[in-house]
Amino acid sequence: MMVHWLSPVGCLAVRCSYTRLLGISRVEAADPALLEAPVCELAGETIRQLGEYFEGRRREFSLPVEQEGTAFEQSVWRELCNVPYGSRISYRELAERIGKPRAYRAVGNANGRNRLCIIVPCHRIIRSDGATGGYAYGPQMKEYLLELERKA
């Protein structure tokens, strides 16, 4: 099931089964049919928690998630969830945390394949020189999320 939700960073597509959140991504334009689609309980809860996040009232998410990926990608995504709200670490530090200190480029690639933006907070990972670095949904969205968390 997929629904579209108009968020402060644009239209987000929320995709889930009845038991697991499968994806959150930004889409260029909202599909009116998906904005008005019946919302299953999990999609509704996801939208509620995201709304609280954008209002500055939520720092962690409690949603059942599922992403398909390699064992390496899974380890990166798990560790992303351990980066605290408002914190920033480098791709190199993330690689060290998963026990692969030389794999910082592969960590960046795994970040780019994260299908659960915001929930699995890949936006908190920056370059070693302090620059924001890449983000699948563009630097403006990444900067917005980092600033939102910095202010709270």
Indicate yes or no: pTM above 0.75: yes
Token pair 């690689």: residue: 95
| Tens digit of each residue's pLDDT (9 = 90 or more) over 8-31 | 999 999 999 989 999 999 999 888
Which one of the listed residues 16, 40, 81, 122 is annotated catalytic? 122
How far is 118 from 61, CA to CA, in rounded Å? 9
What is the pLDDT at residue 131? 93
Q: Is the pLDDT of residue 38 over 80?
A: no
| Tens digit of each residue's pLDDT (9 = 90 or more) over 109-147 | 999 999 999 999 999 999 999 999 889 999 999 999 999
- Residue 40 falls in the annotated catalytic set: no
What is the pLDDT at residue 112? 94
How far is 49 from 35, CA to CA, in rounded Å? 17
How far is 75 from 137, CA to CA, in rounded Å? 22
Amino acid, res. 126: I
How far is 33 from 97, CA to CA, in rounded Å? 43
The CATH architecture one would assign to domain 71-151 is: Orthogonal Bundle (1.10)
**Start-to-end CA span in the chain (Å):** 32
Q: Is the pLDDT of residue 57 over 90?
A: yes
Segments of the chain assigned to CATH 1.10.10.10: 71-151
What is the pLDDT at residue 54? 97
What is the pLDDT at residue 9? 96
